[in-house]
Amino acid sequence: MRFDRCMTVGTDVEFYADALARDLGIKPSDLSSTEAILEHVRQKVLRFLDEVPCENLEGLLQLVANKVGTRFERVVTTGDLNRIKAKYVDRGELGFVQLDSLLEDDSFGVTIRLRHPRPGDLPFVSVIDCRGEKAYREYFTQWHEVGHLLILTRQQRLMFRRTHEARKHPEERLVDAIAGRIGFLAPMVRPHLSLPLTLQEIDDFHERCCPQASRDATIIGVINAVNQSLVYLQARPGLKKKHQRQKNFFPEPPQLRVRNIRTNQTAKDQNLIIYENMRVPERSIISRIHEGLLQAGNATENLDWWETSSGGSQQSRPVQVDARRRGNIVEAIIIGL
């Protein structure tokens, strides 16, 4: 299972964010430029909500899209693509002539500025490709397109803006971070959740509040929105990193290890940290589920059960673990108590 890359930023993104923050008129602060832009966008969206309150995430998406001046066109079939293309080309919008090629391969969405808007038209159209496997990213792609418009400056002239799976440009990765943060805006998420959080609670929230989002994006959005120290992880058998490339020599059998992992900021601030590829403690309920002793369950454990590769233990701290088998992996959330 692959996670949407909602919050991955790097040094090149920070360089880009430095320039963008200046263009947006964001005053210097103790925050990094990336965090300052994310906060700038969050405050903008909260102002939208003050003007037009809404109760759910879909309503928030439509509100923000309207405020930044775009409407969505969904492509579910190739027939939809041809219809949308013909509709706008017939109106003299030549930006749509190459719409089919703009949505090929790894392109999930494109935003086009209308050159000949009619009375009542919004200035932009965001075409979202929902064909085949792209459908599960529809919600995130919509927010990604809106994210570009939330940070559009006067210096920019947006003609084509494509949402790619291969996000190499720093702006694309920054906008991913915006989509992940605003698409699951904390004040819109928290009232729908009960604490302490469980995996079932996340699934129920997904079904009730944002079924159009992928489950992966929902997991990431929820753990970042809750005001609780929380780590989400998946576990499956694997080797130590130093042994992974040794094809013919295994000093030890594969052990249950952490794979995909997400840690929210509250957990980081409180030093509740579990690392990628860390061995899962044998006495943890995660291991018991992997061994087939349980299908799902929760337990109070201690963070110091988790040992680093050098043999050192984590700090002693009670944690609540909720885990279950999902296919060939065990997924779990670990909550600081």
List pLDDT tens digits, range 231-282: 999 999 987 665 555 555 556 678 899 989 999 989 999 999 899 989 999 9
The backbone torsions φ and ψ at residue 142, rounded to the nearest 5 degrees and listed phi first, read: -60, -45
Supply the pLDDT for residue 104. 84
Report the pLDDT averaged over residues 93-113: 91
The backbone torsions φ and ψ at residue 321, rounded to the nearest 5 degrees and listed phi first, read: -115, 125
Q: What band does 114 get if pLDDT is binned at 50, 70 and 90?
A: very high
The backbone torsions φ and ψ at residue 62, rounded to the nearest 5 degrees and listed phi first, read: -65, -40
* C-alpha dist (Å) from residue 297 to 216, 301, 325: 21, 12, 10
CA torsion, points 260, 261, 262, 265, in degrees to nearest 10? -150
Question: pTM for this structure?
Answer: 0.83
Q: What band does 36 get if pLDDT is binned at 50, 70 and 90?
A: very high
Contact 6, 221 (CB under 8 A): yes
Q: Could you tell me which residues come within 8 angstroms of residue 147 by beta carbon, excluding any fewer than 6 positions away?
A: 41, 175, 176, 178, 179, 182
Q: Could you tell me which residues come within 8 angstroms of residue 276 by beta carbon, excluding any fewer than 6 positions away?
A: 258, 259, 261
Strands of the sheet with 255-263, listed across from one edge: 255-263, 230-238, 329-336, 318-326, 296-302
Q: How do beta strands 230-238 and 70-75 pair? A: unpaired
Q: Could you tell me which residues come within 8 angstroms of residue 251 by beta carbon, excluding any fewer than 6 positions away?
A: 243
Alpha carbons within 13 angstroms on the beta-carbon side of residue 173 total: 17
Q: Which two tokens stand for residue 97?
A: 């002539």
Pick from 31-45, 104-118, 153-167: least confident:
153-167
Q: What percent of the chain has pLDDT over 90?
A: 67
Q: What are the tens digits of pLDDT across the range 137-176?
A: 899 999 999 999 999 886 654 444 556 554 567 888 899 9
Supply the pLDDT for residue 163. 60
Which parts of 72-137 fold into alpha helices (H)? 78-89, 99-102
DSSP code at position 130: -
Statement: residue 212 has pLDDT above 90: no
Contact 225, 266 (CB under 8 A): no
Q: What band does 205 get if pLDDT is binned at 50, 70 and 90?
A: very high
Strand locations in the chain (E): 70-75, 107-113, 124-129, 160-164, 230-238, 255-263, 296-302, 318-326, 329-336
Peptide bond into 196 cis (omega under 30): yes
Q: Which two tokens stand for residue 9?
A: 């930023």
Supply the pLDDT for residue 248. 57
User: Which of 195, 236, 196 lies closest to 331, judged by CA?
Assistant: 236
User: Which of 91, 87, 58 lies closest to 75, judged by CA?
Assistant: 87
Contact 281, 257 (CB under 8 A): no
Statement: residue 8 has pLDDT above 90: no
Question: In whole angstroms, what is the distance from residue 74 CA to residue 96 CA?
Answer: 14
Report the pLDDT averaged over residues 66-89: 97
Question: In whole angstroms, what is the distance from residue 158 CA to residue 295 CA?
Answer: 51
Q: What band does 310 get if pLDDT is binned at 50, 70 and 90?
A: low
Report the pLDDT averaged over residues 54-75: 94
